[in-house]
Structure 1
Amino acid sequence: MAQKPKVDPHVGRLGYLQALVTEFQETESQDAKEQVLANLANFAYDPNNYQYLRQLQVLDLFLDSLSEENETLVEFAIGGLCNLCPDRTNKEHILQAGGIPLITNCLSSPNEETVLSAVTTLIYLGSAGPGCHPELTALPLVQCMLRFSLSTNTRLRNLAQIFLEDLCSPSQVAEARSRQAHSALGIPLPRTAAPEQC
């Protein structure tokens, strides 16, 4: 006899998302958590779901999951935030909730997709223009993007260049480049994205 699915898709969009959130919070299974977070990240891609996801505090769930030791959960959480970031209200919530340091921590992940989503999310968060959020152009972050811009990974290199061009002033980039020449400090490159730079 086939098992009945845990979530009934006929309960409506809000009810379905609520059931996913409840399952994520209640399950002890890491596999189930990963599957639920992947589903929520996919729902975050559709602007029609933004209101429901805010109502159910899924943005905070994603932010909290960035601190998990499970790399797969972190990957899906940053992917979900990346999907939500084009929306101004979601962007403001992430910024007000102290999301920048949590997202920045993802830049040192060994998971390439996590790093790519983190850089993209930071670009979205800074899309209001240079100088809007000083945390986004802190020296270690700009130095990290300079290193990423030298990566052999085309996607990472291109995203880093967009970050440097769109979020940073020429003087910030010049200062970071000058300081980098005299210092080994900063955020390490992800191992999978540019192993030759480690």
Structure 2
Amino acid sequence: MELSVQYLRNASSEETKERIAANLSNFAYEPYKYIFLRHLNVLELFLDCIMKPSEKLIQFDVGGICNSCGDPANAAVITQCNGILLIIKCLSSHYAIAALCYLCDESNQDDVLKPKVVNIVKRYAASSSVRVSFSNLAQAFLDKHVP
């Protein structure tokens, strides 16, 4: 995993970055690897890559955040690095909505449940032009966090 992090930081090819980000995102799905993700600053790397212009790279990185943020220590790293604001910029991804669902708690619900965010999620929940699973996830977010 450490080599993957170094390769992602130094890769010049978008395709290479995307492939490595996809692999790291898959690693983030496995709870026993969470400590390695934190030790190698992979969560911060995911957040940095969200700002890149590559749609695929953004999807993989938001997926990695989503896969790892169910863990309280990972969620703390993500929120301390202004991850909520970055994730909100990616709301067209179902991973972003799932990540916000995990991250939303009493300490940051004002950041997560801004009217702009709630309105976007409501549109996805009511939309027939998105995948049913995406619409259902948006509705689950609303059911859980919006009174």
Shift of 1:133: 2.1
How much does 1:167 deviate? 1.1
Q: Report the Cα distance in structure 2 between the residues aligned to 1:26 and 1:142, rounded to whole angstroms.
A: 37
1:139-164 CA distance string (max 9 Å, x none): 11111111111112311211111111
Gapped regions of structure 2 (runs ≥ 5)? none
State which of 46, 61, 73 in structure 2 corresponds to 1:62.
Answer: 46
Aligned-partner Cα distance in 2 for 1:147–1:27: 37
RMSD: 1.3
**1:166 counterpart letter in structure 2:** K
Larger radius of gyration: 1
Helix, strand or coil at the partner of 1:135: helix
Structure-2-length-normalised TM-score: 0.93
Superposed, 1:36-185 pairs within 5 Å as 36-108=20-92, 115-126=93-104, 128=105, 132-152=108-128, 153-169=131-147
Corresponding residue SS for 1:106? coil
Distance 1:75-1:164 versus aligned 2 partners, 3 A rule: same
Count of paired positions: 145
1:132 Cα deviation after fit: 4.7
1-structure distance, mates of 2:108, 2:38: 24
- Listed one character per residue, the Cα deviations across residues 87-142 of structure 1 (whole Å, up to 9, x for unaligned) are 0010111111111111011114xxxxxx111111110111x46x752111111111
Q: Which has the higher helix share?
A: 2
Residue equivalent to 2:12: 28
Matches of 1:144 and 1:56, distance apart in 2: 33
* Aligned structure 1 segments of 4 or more residues deviating by more than 4 angstroms: none
Q: Which amino acid aligns with 1:120?
A: A
2-structure distance, mates of 1:93, 1:118: 16
Post-superposition CA distance 1:30-61 (Å, at most 9, x none): 11111111110011111111001100000000
Deviations 1:59-88 (A, max 9, x none): 000001111100110010001001001100
Q: 2:108, 2:90 → 1: CA distance? A: 22
Query: What is the TM-score with the length of structure 1 in the denominator?
Result: 0.70
Paired residue secondary structure (2:90): helix
